[in-house]
Amino acid sequence: DEDLASLHESGFPMVLVHRTPPPSVPIPSVTVENIEVTQRLIEHLIQAHGKKRILFLRGPVHQEDSLRRETGYRAALKANGIPFDEDLLIDGDFERGIAYQAMNKILGNGKHIAFDAVFTGDDDAAIGVLKSLHEHSIRVPDDVSVIGFDDLGFASFLNPPLTTVRAPTERVGEIATERLFDILDNHPSDDVLILPTEIIYRRSCGCQY
């Protein structure tokens, strides 16, 4: 935050992507809605599929997308009377290899943590989660539901197809670039734009799509 404030003070042209500016620093930014859509997605697992032990693989600790998805996850649990369990919150880092190792550690630690669903944090991490579950003979979605975030191009081709959130990532980049050119043309903006996201239901959560 201090570096951003210093750059802004110096007149350096910039637009933030997937994060909002520091308090009282009017830097334009473009991001996607994370909190409400994550809450609705977790509530879908709870209300439509009866899940109560939902493992959450959070992303990088200081990344705003990760923090806001965790906020939505916690809000869904609270709204449905499910106590938050620290054992169900692990680091996946939004990366398939790290998510794979994290799941293997949980499934092979001898004191198996009970869970009936996994929110992988993003679609790339979902690949590692699905691989680990398969290697431990855990069926998706029969035994454990799995959901992601981003709706990357491969999500519908996974086995089973991945329930996820469609986030307009390319549009974020387009708008950010347009705003940067506006700044360079002396038409600055300090708007914080949050683009809408959409849940895409597929079979990995238990839906018959």
Residues lower than pLDDT 70 in the chain? 109-111
Q: Write down the pLDDT at residue 39.
A: 98
For residue 101, what pLDDT is reported? 95
CA-based diameter of the chain, in Å? Answer: 61
* Sheet of 117-119, strands arranged across: 89-91, 54-58, 117-119, 145-147
pLDDT of residue 111: 60
The pLDDT score that the predictor gives to residue 155 is 97
Cβ neighbours of 18 (radius 10 Å): 17
Question: What is the predicted pLDDT for the residue at 108?
Answer: 86
**143 in Cβ contact with 78 (< 8 Å):** no
Phi and psi torsions of 91, nearest 5°: -85, 125
CA nearest to 40, candidates 164, 142, 129, 136:
164
pLDDT at 5: 94
Identify whether the C-beta of residue 201 lies closer than 8 Å to the C-beta of residue 41: no
Q: What pTM value is reported for the model?
A: 0.93
Instruction: Count the Cβ atoms, other than its own, within 10 Å of residue 184.
Output: 10
DSSP string computed for 59-79: --TT-HHHHHHHHHHHHHHHH
Q: Which two tokens stand for residue 190?
A: 């300090």
**H-type helices in the chain, by residue range?**
2-9, 35-49, 64-79, 96-107, 123-135, 169-184
Contact between 183 and 15 (Cβ < 8 Å):
yes
Q: Could you tell me what percent of the chain has a pLDDT over 70?
A: 99
Identify the H or E element spanning 50. none
The string of DSSP codes covering 72-103 is HHHHHHHHTT----GGGEEE-TT-HHHHHHHH
